[in-house]
Amino acid sequence: MRKFTTLIAIALLLTGILCRAQTTKKPNGHSLLWAITGKGMARPSYLFGTIHLICPSDFIWTSKMKKSLTASDKVCFEMDLDDHETMVAAANGFMDTSGKQLKDYFTPAEYKLLKKFVRDSIGMDLGMLQQMKPVALESIISMKVTDCLVPLSYEDSIMRSAKSKHKEILGLENPSEQIDVLASLPADSVIKEVLDDIQNFSKSKQDYRLLVNAYRKQDLPELYRIITTSASLGDQMDAFLDDRNKKWIARMADKMNNSTVFFAVGAGHLLGDNGVINLLRKDGYTVEPIK
């Protein structure tokens, strides 16, 4: 499940009236869109939970989401996806500079199985990926767990809409921060998950469907439960979610100090004791769901 919530870099490569009128007094977590107010802010900013890959038939974009984006001066993702140098750096971060090729991480039998899966299920020649780190395979495989030929990216859709209205695109992290998190994963753990994915691909598709069903219902508690109980996240929850969330709060405060910002980050980052919503509240902000 880790690949559905944190590998945004690879996956993308291959208003005050609105707040008062549309928020609810019951912050029960069943919303993808939240208004951020308080601490002297003249206008609200917005927090939206994304899922990085989703089929067009499952894509949710309500009138209130659209109005909140329209009301914002700027849009901020986990990374600045509109910056060419940022994206090049992200791509380079997944190149293996150890001198090993991708095939060197697998036994001959494992590599043969992987090569056949990539050819038959993804339509790619694994030889083209020899210079990439094994972790890159997770995102490539995840693109095929959807039930559609061409899945959509919320980040891409939001960015295109923002750019059409000449809104500035920002990022909460630089590429090296995300790369460092992925680099901290033990290679044997990554390899095991890749092999589990291809050997139990129908289970991976079922897990993804559960994730999407919770997302379509805007059920953040269930979404958070699925993500945080995933065996693939394991002991890495601090690095993948909590530690990053804590770094983001001051950066979010700085960006929305004088501007209305539409923050769009993976939905798994929103809930929990160390989720963005709770951390913003601890910092003195009012964060309420927009229904």
At 168 the pLDDT is: 96
Pick from 5, 12, 7, 52: nearest CA to 183: 7
Kindly tell me the burial class for residue 245, based on how many C-beta atoms sit within 10 Å of its own C-beta (0-12, 13-18, 19 or more): buried
- Model confidence at 27, pLDDT cuts 50, 70, 90, reads very low
Q: What is the pLDDT of residue 28?
A: 62
Burial state string for 269-283 with b = 16 or more CB within 10 A and e = fewer than 16: bbbbebbbbebbbee
Query: pLDDT at position 207, please?
Result: 87
pLDDT at residue 129 greater than cutoff 80: yes
Cα–Cα dist 249/277, whole Å: 10
pLDDT tens by residue, 170-216: 999 988 887 777 777 778 888 888 898 888 888 888 888 999 999 99
User: Is the pLDDT score of 251 beyond 50?
Assistant: yes
Q: Identify the pLDDT of residue 46.
A: 98
pLDDT at residue 15 greater than cutoff 60: no
Secondary structure of 122-180 in HEC code, one letter for each residue? HCCCHHHHCCECCHHHHHHHHCCCCCCCCCECHHHHHHHHHHHCCCEEEEEECHHHHHH
Mean pLDDT value across the chain: 84
Distance of CA 245 to CAs 78, 178, 276, 277, 279, Å?
10, 12, 6, 10, 8
The residues, any chain, with a CB within 8 Å of residue 147's CB and separated by 6 or more, are 55, 205, 209
DSSP assignment letter at 53: S
pLDDT given at position 236: 63
CA distance 173 to 176: 8
- CA-based diameter of the chain, in Å? 62
Residue type, 189: S
% of the chain with per-residue pLDDT over 90: 48
Q: Is 4 a residue whose pLDDT tops 50?
A: no
Average pLDDT over residues 248-253: 97
Top pLDDT among 21 and 108 is at: 108
The phi, psi pair for 53, rounded to 5°, reads: -135, 130
DSSP SS3 for 117: helix
Indicate the burial class of 144 (C-beta count within 10 angstroms; 0-12, 13-18, 19 or more).
buried
Distances (CA, A) of 19 to 67, 83, 95, 240: 11, 30, 44, 30
Q: At 235, is the pLDDT very low, low, confident or very high (cuts 50, 70, 90)?
A: low
Give pLDDT, residue 166.
95
User: What is the CA angle 155-157-161, rounded to 5?
Assistant: 115
For residue 150, pLDDT beyond 60: yes
pLDDT at 232: 56
pTM of this structure: 0.85
- Does residue 5 have a pLDDT over 50? no
At residue 104, the pLDDT reads: 92
- Band the pLDDT of 147: cuts 50, 70, 90: confident
Of 229 and 49, more confident? 49
User: Is the pLDDT assigned to residue 68 strictly greater than 90?
Assistant: yes
